[in-house]
Amino acid sequence: MHPAPSLIVFTVFSGLGFGLLAWLGLGAALGGPVPLGWAAFGWYGLGYGLAGAGLIASAFHLGHPERMLLAFTQWRSSWLSREAVLAVATLALMAPHAFGSVFLSAPLPVFGALGGALALVTVLATAMIYASIRAVPRWHHWTVPAVFLSAALAGGALLAGQALAGAALLATLAAALVAHWRIGDGRFRASGSDAGTATGLGGLGTVRLLEPPHSGRNYLLREMVHVVGRRHAMKLRAIALGAGVALPLALVLLAPASPIALGLAALWHAAGMLAARWLFFAEAEHVVGLYYGREPARA
């Protein structure tokens, strides 16, 4: 699949923002920070800023962003619509808690807990946009929500200054990433789709593309048959694990009390997740490639 920068920024930063808001909202219940005054202004500003920046980035992916309000209507069937509704509901529910913490030194933990829980459901909905697509076998699996949720919780913990929880969640994220990659490599073959089923001619013999329908490019090839960079998959996996997990983990374990170390850890984590998310799109094979002579890479 085409790794569109707008979608990489959207998923990584809205994940971080909602992860931080989950920690801030559920803080009282989970023993996290309950900042007040200017500290609250900085933290909630960061949470709202990251989530908002991610959502705005997603609008750059649209051909007609002026019709965006229609995307809130089909929550009964569409995970994309659910994500939009949940994101706005989270930001709205969290607002009284944030306002009370910043301006009145009076947090409203009920709104905080509700908003924090909804923030996690929003991240789940983001993951399900991809995990619900059966035509991309690598995505159609529970490891996708596992990666998105553990990344949001780990990144949020680092931003919220939770060294111990952050370390544990980073380890969880590493396990989720490795599972997503290892299981993902066999998903295309497990889907049962090949050139034989795509054409219905598999019973007659071995099917291969003789002539494509056109000599140039088209929307389908650009959007869904992206192959550039797949050969660097192993290097990118190492970079994602190193920058996204190992380096931040070392930083929080060496200096758990240092805000600078936690800040650096969060930055490295975000950089690693950008690489991981680029790869998430770039190495996902769509079954439509079978009509264009693209057999999946063998695991």
Partner 1 sequence: MTSLPAPPDRKLGLVIDLDTCVGCHACVIACKGWNTETYGAPLSDMDAWGAEPEGTFLNRVHSFEVRRDDAPPMVVHFPKSCLHCDDAPCVTVCPTGASHKRAEDGIVLVNEDACIGCGLCAWACPYGAREMDAASKVMKKCTLCVDRIYNENLSPEDREPACVRTCPAGARHFGDLADPDSAVSQLVAARGGMDLMPEQGTKPVNKYLPPRPRDTLATPPLRQPAPEPDQAPASGFLGWLDRALDRL
Residues near partner 1, by CB under 8 A: 1, 61-65, 67-68, 70-74, 76-81, 84, 129, 132-136, 191-193, 195, 197-201, 203-214, 216-220, 223-224, 286-288, 291-292
**Is 217 or 298 the residue whose CB approaches partner 1 more closely?**
217
Pick left, alpha or beta for residue 191 (phi over 0 → left; psi -120 to 50 → alpha; otherwise beta): alpha
**Is 204 or 260 the residue whose CB approaches partner 1 more closely?**
204
Q: Which of 272, 263, 267 is nearest to 245 (CA)?
A: 272
Please give the C-alpha separations between residue 102 and each of 1, 36, 49, 105, in angstroms, as whole numbers: 42, 6, 15, 6
Q: Which of 262, 7, 296 is nearest to 126 (CA)?
A: 7
**Is 203 or 259 the residue whose CB approaches partner 1 more closely?**
203
Least distance between partner 1 and beta carbon 69 (Å): 9
End-to-end CA distance of the chain: 18
Asked whether 145 and 47 are in contact (CB, 8 A), the reply is no
Secondary structure class of 294 (helix, strand, coil): coil
Q: For residue 107, count CB atoms less than 10 angstroms from its CB and return exposed for 0-12, middle for 13-18, buried for 19 or more.
A: buried
Least distance between partner 1 and beta carbon 84 (Å): 7
Least distance between partner 1 and beta carbon 294 (Å): 11
CB neighbours of residue 105 within 10 Å: 10
Tokens of 61: 């992916």
Least distance between partner 1 and beta carbon 185 (Å): 19
Least distance between partner 1 and beta carbon 214 (Å): 7
Least distance between partner 1 and beta carbon 207 (Å): 5
Least distance between partner 1 and beta carbon 176 (Å): 23
Least distance between partner 1 and beta carbon 140 (Å): 10
**Is 207 or 252 the residue whose CB approaches partner 1 more closely?**
207
Radius of gyration of the chain measured on its C-alpha atoms: 21
**Dihedral sign, Cα of residue 51, residue 146, residue 177, residue 134:** negative
**Is 14 or 191 the residue whose CB approaches partner 1 more closely?**
191
Asked whether 245 and 123 are in contact (CB, 8 A), the reply is no
**Is 105 or 199 the residue whose CB approaches partner 1 more closely?**
199
**Is 45 or 65 the residue whose CB approaches partner 1 more closely?**
65
Please give the C-alpha separations between residue 217 and each of 85, 173, 213, 229, in angstroms, as whole numbers: 36, 37, 10, 18
**Is 38 or 219 the residue whose CB approaches partner 1 more closely?**
219
